[in-house]
Structures are given as structure tokens and as C-alpha cells.
Amino acid sequence: MKILVINAGSSSLKYQLFDMETETVIAKGVCERIGADGSVLTHKACGESFVYEEPMKNHVDAIALVFKALTADKGGVIKDMNEIDAVGHRVLHGGEKLFDSMLVTPEVEAAIEANIPLGPLHNPANLAGIRACRDMMPGKPQVAVFDTGFHHTMPPKAYIYALPYEYYTKHAARRYGFHGTSHRYVSAEAAKLLGRENDPELRIVTCHLGNGSSFAAVKGGKCVDTSMGITPLEGIPMGTRSGSIDPALLEYIMGLENLDIHQMLNVLNKKSGMLGVSGVSSDFRDLWAAKDQGNERAALALDIFCYDGAKLVASYAAAMGGCDAIVFTAGVGENDNRARAGICSYLEFMGIKLDAEKNNTRGTVDLSAPDSKVKILCIPTNEELVIARDTKALI
Ligand code: ADP
């Protein structure tokens, strides 16, 4: 069985083709600059890269080019698209009603559309990806997997904002959380590693640290709290996002800097976080290099990240009445041993003790010192595999 996984953004579209017998990726790639000049598809298969510099004015063009790359003489891995059994789509915002992965029907499509106000950048792109695949492969089963889905089990005390309650009942304004497939995958892998797969008492804090970062408190396999909110802006400072701030700051800065709300939100999403504080970069590799050369603002940005991250881990331990394991994943969590060490150094009071030598290794590893009271795990995430598995299960 072959399953194509699509992650459509507003101007990009990533894909992976899975052979589900072996759960391996046969080919993958990314279309960039869709709808702009210089659009390009980079396709990877059989250990080689193939670049298609062809115009893609929309997602239909992008999907058509993906199909061309998948079936090409060079770098092609299938003869025609009928070899694909189904398509799984990452959909950003499921809102309150869509959480389990599901086959796309006209009703599901309408519901994803109804959630556009909650995910104004992503949901239209996700829908464009779904519609483009439907046009190119009529009748082929398509599955939607929601980035918010895993967090659906949070109790109201975790998801209700302390605002007039009508904002929730009238406008569905609440915490939703994101990176759900990642938190779901690594928490399940951690439970397996710990030999406690069906233990309702197992308490894990998952730390998805990438360009965007989010934390989740997972008890007995179910999410009970998470750090991102109604949008991915909430939580700890990220590459370019501010994370949580005092909302009254907006009026103050908007007045002084003469910004409207859209410009202000652009600053909070694209010019803040690690980049904003350091003035150097949003990339952690650049930040450590700058810190090593004595850049104090890079050092401050990194310290804020570790300090705020540790405060979230500790608060989730409070939320769950303790913590058995913390899991690091995503670009920073999997690769940045100094960020992991920085977060853990603030948590020694909880008996969290990192093994410095193990912390220098890569891949799935137990990083905890023998006398650590809490397991510290690094587990590479695999959101696409979760989408492919859900798709297979549904067809
Ligand atoms: P996204 O949220 O876009 O999926 P990723 O999870 O791929 O992001 O994380 C990307 C980030 O991971 C980069 O911006 C960089 O800061 C960080 N990163 C990647 N590799 C390393 C590394 N070897 N050391 C430190 N940080 C790294």
C-alpha cells in the first residue's frame, strides 16, 4: 500500500510518499514559492535530488508537478498515480468539532472551511491541497489529520481563557494547541520505551522545540494541557514568535511605534522571539555561535528560552501531580544538546538529572543520569508517519 502525505502551506507544499508495508519513505519533496516568481520543486528519491524550476501559480499546479516528479523517468518511483492508494493531509485547525482523523467528505471539507477564521493562513492552503488532489485523482480516498486534534482531551480548566465566557460560547475562542501529531507520536513512543504503554498514570511532558515550539502535558496517553493557544503564538518564545506576553503591551507599543494591529501581529509572529531578543538569528546554531563569540543578547535569548521552557515543564508537573518523563523532539529538541542541558539545569530541584555524555549523542536516546528521578528522553518526531498511519487505518 502506498500513501501520499501532503502538508500544504500558503506558498509551499511538502509531500512524502510512504510504502506502508515497510513504513518507509519512497520519495519526498517540497514545492516552494507557489503563486510567486521563481517557484521550484525539489524532489528527493533513490538518494538523489531533482530540481524542477517550473511555474506553479496555485496548489493545483503544485500537485500536478509533484505527480510529474513522482512518475518521471529520472527520480520517479511509481508508473502512474493509480499506484497511490490514498492521500493524507495535515490540516492545521480542526476547531472544536474536528479532532479525530477522518475521511474527507463534502461535510468535512465544509467544516474545515468554517474553521478558516481560526486558521486564516493555513486552513485555506490545506483545503487547496485537498481540492487539488481531488481534481487530479478523482475518487481517491483523502484523509484529514488535524494538528489540533490530540489536544482535544484537555479539560476546560486548561482550555478556557479567563475572558467573558460568551467569547467561548459565541466565537469558540479557547486554547486549542498545535503540533498535535508530534506530541501524540513522541508521547506514545516514550510510553513504549518505558514499557508503560497502557498505564493511565504515566505522566509525560513532551517538548516540541523547533522553529515553533510547544509543550504538552500527557497523562495516560491523553493530552491534559498544552502551551500554544487559539493560535501558535502563545507559549514560550520561539524562533521569531514572541510567545506569551502581557496583552496590554500591544496598545502601548502600537501607539509609540505607530503600528496597526496587523503590523503589530506581524512583529509578534515574525520579528520577535529568539530573533527579536538577539538581533542575530532565529536559528539556534547561529545563536550558540554568537554567544560563544561573546554576544550578550544571543546569550540572553537562549537563557530566556531555557528558563521559560523549564517553567512550563515544572508547571505541567504540577498539572499532572508529578512527572515521570520529559521528551525532547523536533529540530532543536533532537539536535541541540545545549538547549536541552539549559532547560534541564533549571529543573534539578525536581530530581531531573541529565547524563552529560549521553546528551551528546543523536537519535532516540535515554539521556537521564542513573539517579535522575525523571526520565529524560530524546525521540525524533515523525508527523508524516502519523498521518500515513491514520490514513491507512481509515481506508
Ligand atoms: P519547524 O518548526 O520549521 O518544523 P524544525 O523542527 O525543523 O522546525 O526546527 C528547525 C530549527 O532547529 C532550526 O531553526 C534550528 O534552530 C534548529 N536546529 C536544527 N539543527 C540543529 C542543530 N544541529 N543544533 C542546534 N539547533 C538545530
pLDDT given at position 104: 97
Range list of H helices, 271-349: 273-278, 284-292, 296-320, 330-335, 337-345
Q: Which residues contact 91 (CB under 8 A, 6 or more apart)?
A: 98, 112, 122, 123, 126, 144, 145, 146, 147
Question: How far, in Å, is the centroid of ligand 1 from the Cα of 76?
Answer: 29
Nearest CA to ligand 1 atom 21: 335
What are 213's strand-pairing partners?
209
Residues with C-beta less than 6 Å from any ligand 1 atom: 210-212, 239, 283-285, 330-332, 335-336
End-to-end alpha carbon distance in the chain:
11
pLDDT given at position 363: 80
pLDDT given at position 121: 85
Closest CA to 29 of 80, 63, 78: 63
- Locate the ligand 1 atom nearest the alpha carbon of residue 288 and give its number: 25
Nearest CA to ligand 1 atom 27: 332
Segment (H or E) for 31: strand 24-32
pLDDT given at position 172: 96
Would you give the distance in Å from CA 241 to the centre of its chain? 14
- Locate the ligand 1 atom nearest the alpha carbon of residue 284 and give its number: 16
Residue labelled with grid coordinates 484529514: 144
Distance CA 301, CA 280 (A): 10
Question: How far, in Å, is the centroid of ligand 1 from the Cα of 382?
Answer: 14
Ligand 1 probe mutation, 16, 335, 379, 381, most atoms within 8 A of CB: 335
Closest CA to 90 of 356, 338, 381: 381
Q: Let me know if 324 is a catalytic residue.
A: no
**Positions of the chain with pLDDT lower than 70, given as ranges:** none
Question: How far, in Å, is the centroid of ligand 1 from the Cα of 334?
Answer: 8
R_g (Cα) of the chain, nearest Å: 21
pLDDT by residue (tens digit) across 135-193? 989 999 999 999 999 999 999 999 999 999 999 999 999 999 999 999 999 999 999 99
Judge whether 381 and 186 are in contact, CB under 8 Å. yes
Distance CA 6, CA 290 (A): 36
Ligand 1 probe mutation, 284, 305, 379, most atoms within 8 A of CB: 284
Map out the domains of the chain with their CATH numbers: 2-146 (3.30.420.40), 196-378 (3.30.420.40)
Q: Which candidate in 61, 147, 308, 324 is catalytic?
A: 147
Question: How far, in Å, is the centroid of ligand 1 from the Cα of 262?
Answer: 27
